[in-house]
Every structure is written in structure tokens, then in C-alpha cells.
Amino acid sequence: MKKHSSMRRTFAVLLIIGLVSAMFMALPVFAGSDGTEKSAQTIFGLEDLEGKIVGVQTGTTGDIYISDDAELKLKGVERYNTGFEAVQALSQNKIDAVVIDDQPAQAFVAQMNGLTILDTEYVKEDYAMAVQKGNTELLGKLNEAIAALQENGTLQTIVDYYIDHSGEGYSSPKGAEHPNGKLVMATNAEFPPYEYYDDNNEIVGIDADLAMAIGDYLGYEVEISDMKFDSIITSVATGKAQFGMAGLTVTEEREQSIDFTNPYYTGKQVVIVRKSAGAQRETIIDRFKRNFVQAGRWKMLLSGLGVTLVITLFSTLFGVLIGFVVAIIRSTHDKTGGLRILNIIAQVYTTVIRGTPTVVQLLIIYYVVFASVNIPKIIVAVIAFSMNSGAYISEIIRSGIMSIDEGQFEAGRSLGFNYAQTMRYFILPQALKNVIPALGNEFITLLKETSISGYIAINDMTKVGDVIRSRTYDAFMPLVTVALVYLLLVFIFARLWGVLEGRLRRNG
Amino acid sequence: MAENLFNKPLIRVENLFKIFGENDTKKPTVNAIDNVSLEINRGDVMVIIGPSGSGKSTFLRSLNLLEQPSSGHIYVNDVDITDKNVDIDKHRQKMGMVFQHFNLFPHLTILRNLTIGPEKLQGRSIKDAEREGMELLERVGLADKARSYPNQLSGGQKQRIAIVRSLAMHPDIMLFDEPTSALDPEMVGEVLEIMKDLARSGMTMVCVTHEMGFAREVGTRILFMENGRVTADGAPDEFFNNPSNPRLRDFLSKVLQ
């Protein structure tokens, strides 16, 4: 009887989840048809931007120029993490124009209906590679390689391939050797045609191929590390990456932190505006296929899910260990007055961790603590999330210990158990049982918190959703799918945890 | 056991003080125990009475150092347990304590409450500890509750379990801190019966209680405490029938009404 009703409840919850997601699916269809009717072209030149809102990608040249540009008399500037997000906001009528590099602009306009590029360019700029300040040896080599590749036509071959879609492009010569080791290239692979993921899940583009050619020329293997655009300079400055290459324009501000090579390409910043209606119609199923079935992108999602689960599980494990130790230290101090120094350390730890954003902790651990150490990013994430979770778990366990009646402690001690034995046999078993619900909650929080792993270029589930979005130019399907997967995980976990709780409660 | 051991007191208390608020200069200090010296002999059933706040419980709890005395000495079998180098946990094993609120371990079965001490502290086998645990449960008529958990028991049953939990450690002395104060009236009797049995079996006992009938019937020695001092100390007969201390007379007239 009881089993029956609980099954019915599970079914009801799943039904609600299904209905909500169906509602979500229906939503953008209306929004799209609604939005497209109003949008006819109103901006034909730079002077028409007066009183408009312009979108840019944070930290790009467009951002730097437009933010200082008083002449345009803009109403405002919206900053997005990727150029694609900015273009998408434009097509959804959220902003009026996007300032972006010429080449990606061409790609976006070609892929999305209803957009056009203004004839007048906004600015012209030189692209160069960034290296750590003072690394003159590498700088010299890179300059030499750039000059040589310009000379022998390799650079032109690459540009022709990606921009005019002509020729074979560049591939490493047979038997290319890399005796000089490895160079890590920091980039932001959301920037076609300079760097982006192709359908084989590999980062390609003008910069990527040029970097490879430079590596082949200099005898280095090149490893590409994909990260947020605004992290590239930091990565290079801290030595996480040996060079940065992402359509980087030479600016004085950037030259404070890093050194630039000679320019290898001259690009333009252009303005994209809305032209006319033209939202494409496709069924939900086509859309699903385009996002997940094409190019086997579901595999990416699956591997992202794996990464998310690995980070969450290990962080929980170590978080509980840390939390346990810290809780024991703090409550031992509270009860006996001992462990004074350790208690101070524990208090500082919980205060700092609870008082700073998790993202900031993650970035500090990656870029500051492990700045000069080469360890896998997943381990960095596990360390960051363990430390973060440990602080919260320690407070949970401590509150559990404090909630146990002092009489339990006295009963244990009066029988002749020492402090540690009393804790182990009587206080902790009861305390842990009391905090089981709170620990489950912490696990759920942590699972969702790992979604910020993308900040240090880890391809967790959220990041993968974002990558798919940048390739299919569809925000809705990947993001909602990722959200549903999280929801499902939390739902399953909450059910399992509920069973555990129930079992413990029955045992006295 | 050697004869001379019996002649010596089991516990000797010398100039015991417990001062609360010593480290807080803002509040006046309170002498919860104010210079108490006494001896407890084997087989004594000492009952401590007195108005609330007189220091009875504090004194009892300092006998096994659940309260750390401010100064003075407590000798158990001639060993000064207030000495920092003495392993107090060893001595506590031999000093059973029963609390007002039972303090059974709610996450353990009744039988496990009885066996965990002997097994973990005295190195006895589980089988051996369980056999004796069952005997003790028989003795207090609760053998059928062996597999139950404390929250399935009534207050009186819990306190009977708490008593045998201490007895399972084979203590030399049993300390009772108002063992019937938290019980419903109809359950007081069953707990007092066990305590009386225990007294008759020759167990050394110190008991803080308001049960004057119990004090009179099984007490071999009654202490009256007020303001942290012992102001009367004698056999029950003269104590109850012929009290010389006027405040004791006053106290008895109130509680014996």
C-alpha cells in the first residue's frame, strides 16, 4: 500500500517536470514569432547608433573601443561572455547592434537569418600573439616564425582556407618533429573563423592552424587550452599558458601585463544590426537532432555529465573529510578549551571560505595557488570544491555535535570513556544522524555549484551545453537540456537520500 | 580482600572548594562547595539532602570530577584523583553514576547500552558482556527490553536501565544525582526498589535525593548541605528524630509535610 502511493508520488513529480519542460519548449516559438514582426532595419550607419544599446564580448577590442567612445552617444553597452551571446541577444531584439571582429561577424550573419553588417567598419586593428612579459626568448622565436610563415605563404594558405573556403588549408608536414617540448596556447574557441570547435570536437581556425604551423616550424608541440576570453591574458601572464592567441588586438592596457609579437593579421571591427524578419522554423525534433544528434554531440554532453559527476563525488568525499576534521577541532575547543591554535586556523578557514564567492575561490586556486604547478584542471576543481564544501560541511557537523545533549557527554565520561572515545561511540553517531538531511542538501548545492568549472576551462556539463550552443546557434535546446539533466540528477539523489534517511530513522 | 583495605575509607575528601565565577571579575564569586572535608567508608549509604542551590549536586559531581574542583583533594583508595597525572578515566570506571535525566544512549539498544562499557573499556568479550548484561536486565525485570531502544521505554524503565548500565562496570561506588526527580510519581517506587536492593547488597552509595522515606529506610548516614557547606552529618535516627540544627529542622518540616 505504502509502496504504491510513493510510486504514484514519483510519477506525479515526473509528470510535473515533463509538463514544465514542455512549456519551456513551447515558449521560444512564441517569443520568436512575436519578436520577428517588429524587427526591420533601422540602423544604416554609425551615426544611427545614437541612443541605441550596443552589445560586445567582454574584454574584446570592440569592448575596449566602444566603452571609451563618447562620439557615438550610445544609450548603453551590454557585455556578453561570447560574441555569439551578443549576436543572439541582437536577433532577439534585446539590443540594437553588436560590435565584433569582421571574420566572426561574417560567420554569424551567414548562419543566422535577419542580420546584416554595416558597410562602414568601426575600427581596424592588428592581431598579435601574447607571451609572458620578459620572455624575450619565446617572443623572438615567435616573431621569427611569423615572419617566415608570412614569407613562404603558409599564413595566406590558412587565411584563404578559412575565409574564402579555398585551398587545402594547413596540415602538419609528414614526419614533423617536436623536439623542443610543448607550448600551451590559451584561446577562447568561440570565435570563428579564428578559433572554434569543428564537428569533430577539435579546435580549429586561423589562429589554431597558424599556431600549429608555428609549432611545426619551431619544433614545438602545441596544446590548445580553451577558456573565457578575459582569462587568456591572465593565463599567459601567470605562465599557465606559454602564449595567447585569440584575435588579440595590441592595446596599451594589455601591454602592461604581457608582451605582444609582431602582428600576424589585420582585422576589422564591424557593426552587426538587424535587417528583417526571418526566424527559421523547425520542429522541436529537428531542433533536438540538430543540437544533439548531429556530429554526435550527445557524446559531448555525456562526457560533460561524467566530468560533473566526478568533480561532485570526489569533492563531496574530501569535503566531508575536511568538514569532519574541522568540526572535531572546533567542537573540541568549545568543549575542552584545547587545540587553541588549530581552532584559530579552522575559524579563519571557515570565515574566508564562507565569506568569498566560490567562483573567486576556484579562480584563485587555479591562477594563484597553482599558478606555476602543472596539474590537471579537474584536480584543481576537486581541490577548490572540496575546500569550499568542507567549510559548510564543518558547520553542519559542528551544529550536529552541539545539538547533542551535554548529558550524553557526561554519561560517556562517567562510565570511564575518554574524550575521544566518548565522541566516537556516543556523540558523533548521534550527531551525524541528525545532520543527514543537511548533508544531502549540501551535496545538491555542490552538484549545481560545479557548473562554474567552465571558468577554468573544464568541460563539465554546463560548459558543454555552452559549447553546443556556440556551434548550433541555439541557446534554448542545449541550456534547457542541461538544466533538465541537473534537475533529474537532483531528483534521483533526493529520492535515494530520502530512503537512507528513512532507514536511519527507523533504527532508533 | 585484605582486612586493612576495609578499615580505610574508600573516599576521603579534603578541604574541597568549588568556586564559580573565578575568572569573571564582573560578577561576584559563588562558593558552590565551601571547604568540605569528609570520608566515605565501604558499605556506606550516604544520602545528601538540602535546599536547592546548596551545592549537593556539585559536590556529588565533583567526586568523579565531572565538576573540576577549584581546590582541595579527593582520595579514592588513597589515590589523589585531583592530581593531573592520575588517569581519571580509570577511576571513573569504578565510580558508577546515575543522572536525573537518565542519559541513556538513544542510538544503541538497551543491551548495547549495558555492554559497550565492559567491552570497550574492560576488554571483555561481547559474549561475556552480553551474558552479564542479560543477568542485570533480569535483575531489574527488563530482560524483554534487551533489543529495544531507549525511546521505547518509560522514565522509570530508563532509570532502571541507567542503574544497571553503571553496575555492568562492577563499580566500587555508585553516585546518584537526584535519580527520581524527573520521574512521574507512579514510577518513583520501581526505581527506589532497585536502589534499596542495591544498598542491602552492600554497595557503597552516595545519593542526592529529596526522597526522605528512602533516606530514612536505607541511609546509613545523612548529610545536610547549605550554601556549599555540610552543616549536619549523622545517622538517620538522630538526624530525623532529633535535629539540633535549626535550619535542618526548618528544612525537614517543609519536606516532611
- Kindly list the distances between the CA atom of residue A285 and the CA atoms of A288, A373, B73, in Å, as whole numbers in the listed order: 5, 46, 85
Gap between the Cα atoms of B36 and B24, Å rounded: 24
**Mean of pLDDT values over A149-165:** 83
Q: Say if residue B148's pLDDT is above 80.
A: yes
**pLDDT of res. B5:** 54
Name the more confident of B7 and B192.
Answer: B192
**Mean of pLDDT values over B172-184:** 92
Residue A7, Cβ neighbours under 10 Å: how many? 10
Chain B residue with minimum CA distance to A418: B89
Chain B residue with minimum CA distance to A417: B89
| Residue recorded with cell 565533583 | B62
Name which of A408, A410, A417 is nearest B121 (Cβ-Cβ): A417
pTM value? Answer: 0.68
Gap between the Cα atoms of B221 and B206, Å rounded: 10
Q: Does A410 contact B105 at a Cβ distance shorter than 8 Å?
A: no
Distance from CA of B107 to the nearest CA of A (A): 6
**pLDDT of res. B149:** 94
Chain A residue with minimum CA distance to B91: A416
Name the more confident of A422 and B31.
Answer: A422
- Partner A contacted by B176 (CB < 8 A): no
Give A435's contacts in chain B (Cβ within 8 Å).
none
Work out the pLDDT band at A36, boundaries 50, 70, 90: very low
**Is the CB of residue A77 less than 8 Å from the CB of residue A54?**
yes
3-state DSSP assignment of residue A439: helix
Q: Does A415 contact B169 at a Cβ distance shorter than 8 Å?
A: yes
Gap between the Cα atoms of B76 and A86, Å rounded: 82
Residue A453, Cβ neighbours under 10 Å: how many? 27
Q: Say if residue B2's pLDDT is above 80.
A: no
Name the more confident of A109 and B152.
Answer: B152
- Partner B contacted by A405 (CB < 8 A): yes
**Is the CB of residue B155 less than 8 Å from the CB of residue B136?**
no
**Phi/psi of residue A91, nearest 5 degrees:** -70, -20
CA neighbor of A127 nearest in space, from A101, A108, A164? A101
Name the more confident of B26 and A411.
Answer: A411
Q: Say if residue A166's pLDDT is above 80.
A: no
| Residue recorded with cell 599557465 | A240
Calculate the average pLDDT of chain A. 86
**Is the CB of residue A86 less than 8 Å from the CB of residue A80?**
yes
* Segment of A19-28, B173-182, B247-256 carrying the highest mean pLDDT: B173-182
**Mean of pLDDT values over A97-123:** 84
Gap between the Cα atoms of B116 and B137, Å rounded: 15
Residue type, A247: G
Gap between the Cα atoms of B223 and B215, Å rounded: 10
Q: Which of A403, A404, A414, A434 to mutate to test the interface with B (most CBs of B within 10 A)?
A: A414
- Partner A contacted by B93 (CB < 8 A): yes
**pLDDT of res. A31:** 43
**Mean of pLDDT values over A466-476:** 82
pLDDT digits (tens, 9 = 90+) for A314-370: 999 999 999 999 999 999 998 888 888 999 999 999 999 999 999 999 999 999 998
State the count of interchain CB pairs (< 8 A) between A and B.
66
**pLDDT of res. A293:** 83
The DSSP string of chain B is: --HHHHHS-SEEEEEEEEEETTT-SSSPPEEEEEEEEEEE-TT-EEEEE--TTSSHHHHHHHHTTSSPPSEEEEEETTEETTSTTS-HHHHHHTEEEE-TT----TTS-HHHHHHHHHHHHH---HHHHHHHHHHHHHHTT-GGGTTS-GGGS-HHHHHHHHHHHHHTT--SEEEEESTTTTS-HHHHHHHHHHHHHHHHTT-EEEEE-S-HHHHHHH-SEEEEEETTEEEEEE-HHHHHHS--SHHHHHHHHHHT-
Show the cell assigned to A280: 527559421
Show the cell assigned to B73: 583533594
**Mean of pLDDT values over A113-125:** 82
**pLDDT of res. B252:** 87
**pLDDT of res. A1:** 45
Q: Does A429 contact B101 at a Cβ distance shorter than 8 Å?
A: no
3-state DSSP assignment of residue A97: strand
* Displacement of CA B53 from its chain's centroid (Å): 17
Q: Does B107 contact A418 at a Cβ distance shorter than 8 Å?
A: no
**pLDDT of res. A503:** 84
**Mean of pLDDT values over A399-427:** 93
ω into A437 cis (within 30 of 0): no
With the C-alpha atoms ordered B168, B169, B172, B178, is the resulting torsion angle positive or negative? negative
Q: Say if residue A138's pLDDT is above 50.
A: yes
Q: Which of the residue ranges A392-406, B25-39, B49-63 would you say has the lowest mean pLDDT?
A: B25-39
**pLDDT of res. A281:** 58
Q: Does B120 contact A425 at a Cβ distance shorter than 8 Å?
A: yes
Calculate the average pLDDT of chain B. 90
**pLDDT of res. A40:** 63
Burial class (CB in 10 A: 0-12, 13-18, 19+), A250: middle
**Mean of pLDDT values over B235-249:** 85
Q: Say if residue A386's pLDDT is above 60.
A: yes
- Percent of chain B with pLDDT strictly greater than 70: 97
Name the more confident of B27 and A3.
Answer: B27
**Mean of pLDDT values over A428-442:** 92
* Phi/psi-derived region of residue A386, left when phi > 0, alpha when psi is between -120 and 50, beta in every other case: alpha
**Phi/psi of residue A209, nearest 5 degrees:** -70, -35
Q: How close are the terminal C-alpha atoms of chain B, in Å?
A: 45
**Is the CB of residue A423 less than 8 Å from the CB of residue A328?**
yes
Q: Which of A401, A405, A406, A415 to mutate to test the interface with B (most CBs of B within 10 A)?
A: A415
* Segment of A176-185, A232-241, A355-364 carrying the highest mean pLDDT: A355-364
- Percent of chain B with pLDDT strictly greater than 90: 64
Name the more confident of A507 and A376.
Answer: A376
**pLDDT of res. B75:** 93
Q: Say if residue A445's pLDDT is above 80.
A: yes
Give A433's contacts in chain B (Cβ within 8 Å).
107
- Partner A contacted by B23 (CB < 8 A): no
Q: Does A408 contact B120 at a Cβ distance shorter than 8 Å?
A: no
- Per-window interface: B 94-153 vs A, CB < 8 A: 94-97, 99, 101, 103-109, 116-117, 120-121, 149-151
Q: Which of B66, B68, B107 to mutate to test the interface with A (most CBs of A within 10 A)?
A: B107
**pLDDT of res. A318:** 96
Name which of A405, A413, A417 is nearest B66 (Cβ-Cβ): A413
**pLDDT of res. A30:** 43
Q: Say if residue A450's pLDDT is above 60.
A: yes
Residues in chain B, total? 257
